Amino acid sequence: MRILSIFIIILFILSGCNNGYQTLEEAVQSHWKSPIKVINEDRENKLVYYLDQNQHILGVYEQEGNKYKYDNEQSVGMTFSSEIGLPFLVSANHFDGIGNVIHGAITTDEHTVEKFVLHYKNGETQEIDAKNNTFITKYPTFLSIDSVLFFQELENAVGYDVNGEIIEIWDRNAEISN
């Protein structure tokens, strides 16, 4: 009986040790066989943007104290390319508990994106600081549509470098014509 009690105590202690990972990258990597790379994080909304080879993925994580947990239940992944100009991704998705989120990236090794500016049909703009040529942001307050209808309101998105020079433009009309 005493040995059984000690065994149960040891199992209880060991099970408590794996209640998360020390880093967000470790938590995300635990769900992938191929190596991933975390490139952006929205700490307020607990969103992580990472790469799995050439796939861009946005997912929801949990943080309890200094431990991270991640599962792929609420994640979206995509690859993208371009026949003209640099590959430019703009996407909108709904995440339970967070709401509607806009995210994107410009794929380039030659430029560093400083900021993205989204231009809406109603004349409003939304400026987002870039991190590793990517962005994550919540819907602006003036949008009251769901993520499926997002592209009906977006006119274009522009990526700028630190000098305010345009790196690339994502144009809704060009996307529709392709």
For the segment 61-87, what is each residue's pLDDT rounded down to a tens digit?
A: 999 999 999 999 999 999 999 999 999
Question: Two tokens at 22?
Answer: 């020390």
Percent of the chain as helix, strand, coil, to the nearest 5? 20, 45, 35
Would you call 93 exposed, middle or buried from its count of C-beta atoms within 10 A (0-12, 13-18, 19+)?
Answer: middle
Average pLDDT in the chain: 90
pLDDT digits (tens, 9 = 90+) for 104-118: 999 999 999 999 999
The answer to whether 117 touches 127, Cβ cutoff 8 Å, is yes
What percent of the chain has a predicted confidence (pLDDT) above 90?
82
Per-residue confidence band for 27, with pLDDT thresholds at 50, 70 and 90: very high
| Count of structural domains, the chain | 1
Q: What is the pLDDT of residue 173?
A: 76
Per-residue confidence band for 176, with pLDDT thresholds at 50, 70 and 90: very low
Q: What is the pLDDT of residue 18?
A: 54
The answer to whether 86 touches 107, Cβ cutoff 8 Å, is yes
Per-residue confidence band for 19, with pLDDT thresholds at 50, 70 and 90: confident
136-165 average pLDDT score: 94
Q: Which residue has the tokens 């099970």?
A: 15
Q: What is the pLDDT of residue 3?
A: 59
Domain that holds residue 90: 2-177
Would you call 66 exposed, middle or buried from its count of C-beta atoms within 10 A (0-12, 13-18, 19+)?
Answer: exposed
